[in-house]
Structure 1
């Protein structure tokens, strides 16, 4: 994936060599084994650089992903060679936050009051449900409720009333 100009200084000077070495070590095949969270492949992703991607047929471009999203951290255990699909999926939450912050900065520059953009796009936690209320039974009542529609009499009940 192309490095954005504003992030270029976060990568080491020898990043192209580091990335290329990682791709060579992965035999030019996506090394994602589920880190992306797509759930579309069991085990290692089958995509290979320059070949059609499974599912879409687009040409695969291998990238080198930082598992912790920190470009400064180039330890081998933090780097995984991924096809563009796996990399985009791996970064989706990070991209959501970055996009919200970018929008907030644009609004602030235009004079809009600030808001907590990260809180808006934060991953929701499991809802906490209130404790269950005790079961309540309605009192028995033989009188029909005046506001509740009563069933219309059936023809058989009408004839039985007439003959009795």
Structure 2
């Protein structure tokens, strides 16, 4: 998934030149599979065997924290695996965004 402009500063300078290529190399330029699709091995740039879309591998953080770039926290994922893994995170983010747009304040502060 593309890095949102407001989050770019959270990624290290060597993200594109070292970290991302190292994860793609480890994965053999194929999806590493997610908990719901553990056997997915969709190849980057090829047609996805299930969805039929062209595969664009992205690097996902298991803990959703861009600053945590240890190899064991990163996975090479196709769109299906990445979006599916992040569905809960996206729902929470969407809820916060809508609440902020409506001028609502959270009842409880988030823990760090």
Q: TM-score, normalized by length of structure 1?
A: 0.61
1:10-159 alignment, distance < 5 Å: 10-17=10-17, 18-32=19-33, 34-35=34-35, 37=36, 41=37, 43-108=38-103, 113-114=104-105, 116=107
Runs of 4+ in 1 over 6 A off after TM superposition: none
Greater CA radius of gyration, 1 or 2? Answer: 1
Q: TM-score, normalized by length of structure 2?
A: 0.87
Q: CA deviation at 1:21?
A: 1.4
Aligned to 1:4: 4
Aligned length: 107
Gaps of 5+ in 2: 108-112
Gaps of 5+ in 1: 117-164
Q: Provide Cα deviations, 1:42-66, integer angstroms capped at 9, x if missing partner.
A: x431210011112221000001110
Higher relative contact order (CA 8 A, sep 6+): 2
Q: Provide Cα deviations, 1:9-41, integer angstroms capped at 9, x if missing partner.
A: 111111112111110121101012x43x2xxx4
